[in-house]
Amino acid sequence: MGDSFRRFRLKIGTAASVLLPLCTSWLTRAGGLHELSDTQPGWLPTARLWGLAVSLLCIFTPWSLERLLETQAGSIVRQRLHTPDIMLLSLRGFFMCPAVLGFISFTYGGPASDSYAGAAASFVASLSWNWRYRSVYLVPTIRA
């Protein structure tokens, strides 16, 4: 029961990480929220740059953290934390950040391309990360 619940939870997380970018793209297309105001806030160009920087950081953090845990310097941390479940669950959340930040930028008056680019980056990164750890939640447990 415990193993099947764990796999179910991992599958739900996988679906959420793949569907969130698609939902933000749909909301961008269907919403048209930024058309309600004619002017952009003065801080929006700076916020877009910060959003891009944070999005890039969030996209590359899981791979660099995984690489760090594979080195000798991370051996103590690796013994305690480097299980596929933890890597899959905790670091997958990083991939949702670009889609959310792009949608927030769009909501405050930024171009729709911010939302679409963030959603595309999140979707591709999430698919590749979930494919990388597919053995964690797709392979059934054989009991003897």
Retrieve residue 93's tokens.
Answer: 């959340």
Is 144 part of a structural domain of the chain? no
Is 107 part of a structural domain of the chain? yes
**pLDDT recorded at residue 22:** 86
Cβ atoms of 53 and 97 closer than 8 Å: no
Give the total number of structural domains in the chain. 1
| pLDDT, tens digit, 9 for 90 and up, residues 47-92 | 889 999 999 998 888 888 777 777 755 566 656 655 666 677 667 7
d(CA 24, CA 92): 17
Please name the residues in contact with 134: beta carbons below 8 A apart, sequence gap of 6 or more. Answer: none
- Which domain covers residue 106, as residue numbers? 2-138
**pLDDT recorded at residue 66:** 76
Of 125, 135, 97, 96, nearest to 13 by C-alpha is: 96
Neighbours of 67 (CB within 10 A): 10
pTM across the whole model: 0.77
Kindly state the average pLDDT of the residues 115-125: 91
Is 88 part of a structural domain of the chain? yes
**pLDDT recorded at residue 140:** 62
Is 143 part of a structural domain of the chain? no
